[in-house]
Structure 1
Amino acid sequence: MRALIAELHRRQNLLAWAGWVAVGCLAFSLAAMAVDGRQIYGVSVWTKPAKFAASFIPWFWTLAWAWGVLAPAARRGALAGLVLWGTLGAAAFEQGWITWRAAAGLPSHFASDPFGQVMFALMGLGATVLVALAALLGLLVLVRGDTVQPRGWRLAVGLGLVVAGVLGGVTGYAIAGTGSPLVGGSGTPGFPPFYWSRDGGDLRVAHFLAVHAMQAVPGFWLLTRATSWPVAAVTAAWAAFAVAALRLAQAGMPLSP
C-alpha cells in the first residue's frame, strides 16, 4: 500500500494531495453529521458535502494515476497544465460552496434563494469544467500516451476518461435541466450512502455510472490484460449501460424495485 501511495504521488503530486484533502473533507462531514441533527430533503445537511468529497477522492487519484500514462513531454505541456489547474480550481469551488451551504443549513443544489440560484448556476459551470477536463486528459492519453506502456492499457485509460467526461456532462445536464435528480415517485430518500430513489426515476444513477467509467474500463484491462478490441467493446457496453440507466430514469422507473 505504501508503494502504491508513493507511486501515486510520483505520477502527479498535486492531484494526489488533492485526494488526501478530499479524504479530510469527507472525515469532517461525517463527524459533523454525527453531531448535527439538521436535515435537508429528509437527509443530513452534511450528506451532500460528504458525497462530493467521497466522489472527489477517486476522481483526483484516477487522474493522478492516468498522468503516468502520458508521454513525459505531454505531462509538462500546456494542455496538461490546463487539466491540472482547472481541475483543482473547479473542485475547490464546488466542495467549498457545498460545505459552506451545509454549515448554513441551506441546500447547495436547486436552491430557492436568489444568491443560491446564482451559485448553483456557477456550480453547473464548475461541473462542466471538471468533466470536460477529464475528457481532455483522456484524449491526451489516446493521442500522446507513453508508447512504452501497453497499447491496451493506454486505450483503456484514455477511453474511460473520455466516456466519463462526455457522459458525465450529458447526465449532469439532464439533472440540471429536469430541475431535480428525481423523476416521479414519492421523493422519499432510498438507502444510504447514495439515497437513490426506490420508487421513481433517479438520474443520479446514470451520472454515477457515467463518471465511474474512468475506473471501470481501466479496471477491466488490469484484470484481463486484454487487447484493444475487448477494451473498446467493454467501453461501449459501459457507455450503453449508463445511457440505458438515464433513459430508465427519464421514464420515471427506478433501477431496482
Structure 2
Amino acid sequence: MPSSWRSWHRPLLVLAALMAGAAVVSAAGVVLDGRTLVGSPIWLKPFKFAVSLMIYGLSLAWMLSLSTRARRTGWWAGTVVAVASVIEMVILIAQVIRGRRSHFNLETELDETLFSVMGNTIVVLWVSSLLIAVLLFRSELADRASAWALRLGAALALIGAALGFLMTMPTSDQLAAEKRGERVDTLGAHSVGVPDDGPSMPLTGWSTTGGDLRIPHFFGMHALQLLPLLLLALLLLAPRLPRLRDEGVRLRLILTAAGGYSGLLALLTWQALRGQPLHRPDAATLTALAAILLTTAVAARLSLRPSPARTRAPSPTPAPEPLPDREPAP
C-alpha cells in the first residue's frame, strides 16, 4: 500500500503546498483582523477551506500513485481537481478582502457571478474526483483490504461532497420572499431551521440551535483519509495481533467500518435536515445511533474470525508401476 512520494501526483502536491501557505495567512488573519462575517471571524472560513483542501490534495496525490489503470487520464483528472481548488480558494480570499460573503451571496452582480463561478468549479471538481474513484475501483492492488479501503473511502467522500449541494437549495423563507416578489440577496444556507449567523460551536462554526448541513458534508469527505488510516493501523498492529495478519480478517474489518461509517453519515444527514443540533439529539436519533453502533460492533466481532482454510483437492495417488518381467531361471 505505501508508495514513494516521488510518484505522487505533482499538481496536487503543489495544491497542498499552496493551501498550507493559505492556511498560515488565514490563521494570521483570524488573529490580526478583527472583522466578523455571519457571526464568525472573517478569515475563519478560508482557514478551514485551506486545511481541508490541503489534506484532500495530499490524499488524492497519494491515491493516484497507486492507480494502475488509465494513469494519464488519472493525471489529468487530478490536475483539474488542483486547478478548480485554486480557483475556489482565490475567490474565497478575494471576497474576504472585500469584506463580502463568498457563498450564497446575490447582493450585487459581482457577488452573484463569483458565487456562480464557485458553484461551477465545485461541480468540475466533483466530476474529476468521481473519475479518480472509478480508476481506483478498476485498479488491482495485491492486498484486497487496501484496495477496498481506498475505493470505499473515495466513494464515501464523493457522497459527502455531494451533500454540499443541499446547502445551495433555497430555504423556506427565501422561497416565501420570492413568491412575495421581494428581492432575495441570499440563496441557500448552511443551517436548517435557524439563521446562519446564530449561535455556533467554536472553530467549526456549526450551529448550536439548529441543524447544520456542514456536519455530514465534513464527515463524509474525510472518509477519504479515515478508512485508509484504519487500514494502516491494522497493518501496523498485525505483527502483535496474529489474527490481523489474515488478509480476509482485515478486509472484513474494512467493509464493516465502511458500513458503519455509511450509517453514521446517513444519520448525521437526517439529523441536520430535521433542524436538530449535533449535540442535542432526540430519542429517535439516539435510537438510530445505538442500532448503528451495535450492528457495527457485532459485525466487527464476527469479522475477527479466522478465514476458513482453503481446502485443496487431494492429489490422485499415482498408479503403481508394473514390475519388470523376469527371465526364467536356467
Normalising by structure 2, report the TM-score. Answer: 0.70
Q: Hey, what's the Cα distance between the residues in 2 that align with 1:55 and 1:9?
A: 23
Task: In structure 2, give the amino acid aligned to 1:48.
Answer: K
The structure 1 residue matched to 2:277, chosen from 251, 254, 257, is 254
Q: CA deviation at 1:180?
A: 0.3
Number of the residue aligned with 2:104:
110
Question: Which of residues 186, 191, 194 in structure 1 aligns to 2:204?
Answer: 194
Q: 1:124 aligns with which of 99, 119, 128?
A: 119
Measured after TM superposition, the shift of residue 15 of structure 1 is 1.4
User: Residue 16 of structure 2 aligns with which residue?
Assistant: 19
Listed as ranges, the matches of 1:6-155 within 5 Å are 7-71=4-68, 74-75=70-71, 77=72, 79-111=73-105, 112-145=107-140, 147=141, 149-155=142-148
Q: Determine the structure 2 residue equivalent to 1:156.
A: 149
Name the amino acid aligned to 1:244.
Answer: L
Partners of 1:9 and 1:252 lie apart in 2 by: 46
In 2, Cα distance between equivalents of 1:81 and 1:8: 15
Aligned residue for 1:29, secondary structure, equals helix
More displaced stretch, 10-19 vs 104-113: 10-19
- Secondary structure in structure 2 of the residue aligned to 1:32: helix
| Count of matched residue pairs | 247
1:5-64 Cα shifts (integer Å, max 9, x gaps): x94343222212211110000101111222211111111221111111011111000001
1:116-159 deviations in Å (ceiling 9; x for gaps): 122212212211222332232122112024x3x41210111122
Larger RCO, structure (CA 8 Å, separation 6 or more): 1
CA RMSD between the two structures? 2.0
Task: Decide whether the 8 Å contact of 2:78 with 2:132 is kept in 1.
Answer: no
Which of 255, 258, 268 does residue 235 from structure 1 map onto? 258
Task: Give the Cα–Cα distance (whole angstroms) in 1 for the partners of residues 98 and 76 of structure 2.
Answer: 33
The aligned amino acid for 1:205 is I
| Residues 185 and 199, structure 1, Cα contact 8 Å, conserved in 2 | yes
Counterparts of 2:149 and 2:127, CA distance in 1: 18
The structure with the largest helix share of the pair is: 1
If you compute each CA radius of gyration, which structure gives the higher value, 1 or 2?
2
Shift, 1:212, TM fit: 0.7
Overall identity of the aligned pairs, in %: 25
Tell me how far apart the structure 2 counterparts of residues 30 and 189 of structure 1 sit (CA, whole Å): 22
Structure 1 residues 122 and 189, CA gap change in structure 2 (3 angstroms): farther
How far has the Cα of 1:162 moved from its partner? 1.7
Instruction: Report how far residue 217 of structure 1 moved.
Output: 1.4
Q: Is the Cα–Cα contact under 8 Å of residues 185 and 200 in structure 1 kept in the other structure?
A: yes
Find the residue that maps to 2:91 and give its secondary structure.
Answer: helix
| Unaligned 5+ runs, structure 2 | 171-187, 236-248, 281-330
Structure 1 window deviating more from structure 2 (223-232 vs 135-144): it is 223-232
CA contact (8 A) 1:203 1:249 kept: yes
For structure 1, the 5+ residue unaligned runs are: none
CA distance in 1, matches of 2:199, 2:275: 15
Q: TM-score, normalised by structure 1?
A: 0.89
